[in-house]
């Protein structure tokens, strides 16, 4: 009796007779030979059936077996350089094959290029294709690495609520839902404010879950539902926060390189770009970033580029600005000290410069832009109250938040990292909708 194996273990099974359970990804028939590329979730392996080895009727069924038919294949594993697959280089000679189900012959995802809309309409099938399969396996490792780093650095995982009473940051649009007799509840856009309460109980915490933004953003960097990890640390200032960010991001990159190299390569990712990610990351102030952008503006003669790079102190960076800044470095770039006016109400002012706050964004290389936004939080009760008023936020709703500054307030900091943007950067893909299994965008809630 051959033992059932997973394709990712196939190298260890050379010479043995094994059984693989999976789906026919591709079929090539060549007279008396049929090549079945079978995927089993862990990899792709070529299975070779020879007419002389099998019952004539069965061989005849294999010749016309539709793509995605489910099969159980048994036979010896041979090393063969010609064999395609992931990991590849090994094939199974078919001695026995059970056709669990012969798929319908109208499988929509033919092995070819597909348009975005069609592919997304068939996302439930698209994830079977090697590129999407690789991306989602990398995503899983990114998530594991995130949890691993926090769990081994003294952080407590705190799940913050998804149904919330009001805007956490008061600015962006929220999804709303009726909530019994309490009026409206809103889907969370951040767990940060709760985390600020949590650290006063646990010191270091992180929350990790889905986040919802009802903004009508239509770009390759936006989803309406995305996953965000948000650590928060008591007794931590902006400098310490930046150190944590670079250690944390480096850990994720290293683990993905260690465990998902075949997937990265199958995506055509330039691995050398990721191998350069090591602390320390370059750090520049917003003031210096503004100067760099001014120089870049002056240096170009291209009117189109000039228009894109147009910038003056006080503005937030747009995508072209982020690309210009990060193009000067091999590593993620930390930009700190943004104007208070473009950031959230809760950020600690820069000492002696109230127009600037102790915020930091981490911009990924290669034009991927902001993947982390963080700051040192305001610790003064009275200043926070003043800010709430300035932003016209209802004091009553933030009473509990103000309490945190009454009973043992300490300097503290935290950040939020977008999982899909991080995955998109690591995978080198164009659009973050491929970095989540079932993307939600302004125009899509199906499937």
Partner RNA sequence: UCCUCGAUAGCUCAAUUCGGCAGAGCGGGCGGCUGUUAACCGCUAGGUUCCAGGUUCGAGUCCUGGUCGAGGAGCCA
Per-residue contact flags (x/-) with RNA for residues 201 to 240, judged by CB under 7 A: ------------x-xxxxxxxxxx-x-x------------
By CB atoms closer than 10 A (0-12, 13-18, 19+), residue 350 is: buried
User: What are the residues whose beta carbons fall under 8 Å from the beta carbon of 330, sequence distance 6 or more?
Assistant: 273, 276, 365
* 320 near RNA (CB under 7 A): yes
**CA–CA distance, 15 with 97 (Å, rounded to integer):** 18
Restricted to residues 99-158, the positions that interact with RNA (CB under 7 A) are 105-108, 110-118, 120
> Which residue from 372, 388, 404, 426 is in contact with RNA, where contact means CB under 7 A?
372
> Which residue from 15, 56, 57, 82 is in contact with RNA, where contact means CB under 7 A?
82
Restricted to residues 37-66, the positions that interact with RNA (CB under 7 A) are 46, 48, 50-52, 64, 66
Q: Minimum Å distance from CB 33 to RNA? A: 4
Per-residue contact flags (x/-) with RNA for residues 423 to 442, judged by CB under 7 A: --------xxx-------x-
Q: How many other CB atoms are there within 10 angstroms of residue 111's CB atom?
A: 12
> Which residue from 2, 5, 24, 35 is in contact with RNA, where contact means CB under 7 A?
35
* 443 near RNA (CB under 7 A): yes
> Which residue from 29, 148, 237, 330 is in contact with RNA, where contact means CB under 7 A?
29
Answer positive or negative: Cα dihedral of 88, 93, 96, 102.
positive
**CA–CA distance, 309 with 59 (Å, rounded to integer):** 63
* 319 near RNA (CB under 7 A): yes
**CA–CA distance, 29 with 18 (Å, rounded to integer):** 23
> Which residue from 41, 262, 282, 318 is in contact with RNA, where contact means CB under 7 A?
318
Q: How many other CB atoms are there within 10 angstroms of residue 388's CB atom?
A: 19
Nearer of residues 320 and 428 to RNA, judged by Cβ = 320
Nearer of residues 107 and 329 to RNA, judged by Cβ = 107
Residue 176 and residue 186 in contact, taking contact as beta carbons nearer than 8 Å: yes
> Which residue from 84, 87, 203, 411 is in contact with RNA, where contact means CB under 7 A?
84
- CA-based nearest residue to 366, from 337, 415, 329: 329
Q: Minimum Å distance from CB 406 to RNA? A: 26
Reading phi first (left if > 0) and then psi (alpha if -120 to 50, else beta), residue 350 is in beta
Residue 50 and residue 33 in contact, taking contact as beta carbons nearer than 8 Å: yes
Residue 427 and residue 406 in contact, taking contact as beta carbons nearer than 8 Å: no
Which residue blocks in 152-268 are alpha helix, DSSP H? Answer: 192-202, 238-259, 261-266
- Count residues binding RNA (CB under 7 A): 75
Restricted to residues 238-297, the positions that interact with RNA (CB under 7 A) are none
> Which residue from 40, 198, 232, 420 is in contact with RNA, where contact means CB under 7 A?
420
Q: Minimum Å distance from CB 420 to RNA? A: 5
* 79 near RNA (CB under 7 A): no
């Amino acid at each position: 009796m051959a033992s059932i194996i997973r394709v990712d273990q196939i190298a260890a099974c050379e010479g043995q007779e094994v059984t693989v359970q999976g789906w026919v990804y591709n079929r090539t028939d060549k007279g008396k030979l049929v090549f079945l590329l079978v995927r089993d979730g862990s990899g792709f392996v070529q299975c070779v059936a020879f007419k002389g080895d099998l019952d004539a009727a069965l061989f005849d069924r294999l010749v016309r077996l539709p793509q995605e038919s489910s099969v159980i294949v048994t036979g010896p594993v041979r090393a063969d350089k010609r064999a395609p697959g992931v990991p590849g280089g090994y094939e199974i000679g078919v001695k026995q094959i059970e056709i669990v189900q012969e798929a319908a012959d109208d499988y929509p995802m033919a092995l070819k290029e597909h348009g975005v809309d069609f592919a997304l309409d068939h996302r439930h099938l698209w994830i079977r294709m090697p590129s999407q399969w690789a991306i989602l396996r990398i995503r899983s490792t990114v998530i594991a690495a995130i949890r691993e780093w926090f769990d081994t650095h003294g952080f407590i995982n705190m799940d913050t609520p998804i149904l919330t009473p009001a805007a956490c940051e008061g600015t962006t649009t929220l999804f709303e839902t009726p909530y019994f007799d309490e009026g409206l509840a809103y889907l969370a856009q951040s767990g940060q404010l709760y985390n600020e309460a949590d650290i006063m109980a646990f010191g270091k915490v992180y929350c990790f879950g889905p986040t919802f933004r009802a903004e009508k953003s239509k770009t390759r960097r936006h989803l309406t539902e995305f996953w965000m990890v948000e650590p928060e640390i008591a007794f931590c200032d902006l400098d310490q926060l930046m150190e944590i960010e670079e250690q944390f991001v480096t850990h994720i990159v290293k683990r993905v390189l260690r465990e998902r190299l075949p997937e990265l390569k199958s995506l055509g990712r330039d691995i050398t770009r990721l191998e350069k990610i090591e602390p320390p990351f370059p750090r520049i102030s917003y003031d210096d970033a503004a100067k760099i952008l001014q120089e870049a503006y002056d240096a170009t003669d291209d009117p189109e580029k000039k228009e894109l790079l147009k910038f003056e102190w006080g503005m937030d960076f747009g995508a072209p600005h982020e690309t210009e800044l990060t193009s000067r470095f091999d590593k993620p770039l930390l930009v700190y000290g943004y104007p208070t006016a473009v950031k959230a109400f809760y950020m600690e002012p820069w000492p002696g410069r109230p127009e600037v706050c102790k915020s930091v964004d981490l911009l990924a290389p290669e034009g991927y832009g902001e993947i982390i936004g963080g700051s040192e939080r305001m610790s003064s009760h009275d200043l926070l109250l003043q800010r709430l008023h300035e932003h016209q936020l209802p004091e009553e709703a933030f009473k509990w938040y103000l309490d945190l500054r009454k009973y043992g307030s300490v300097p503290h900091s935290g950040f939020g990292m977008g999982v899909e943007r991080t995955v998109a950067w690591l995978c080198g893909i164009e659009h973050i909708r491929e970095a989540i299994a079932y993307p939600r965008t302004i125009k899509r809630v199906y499937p």
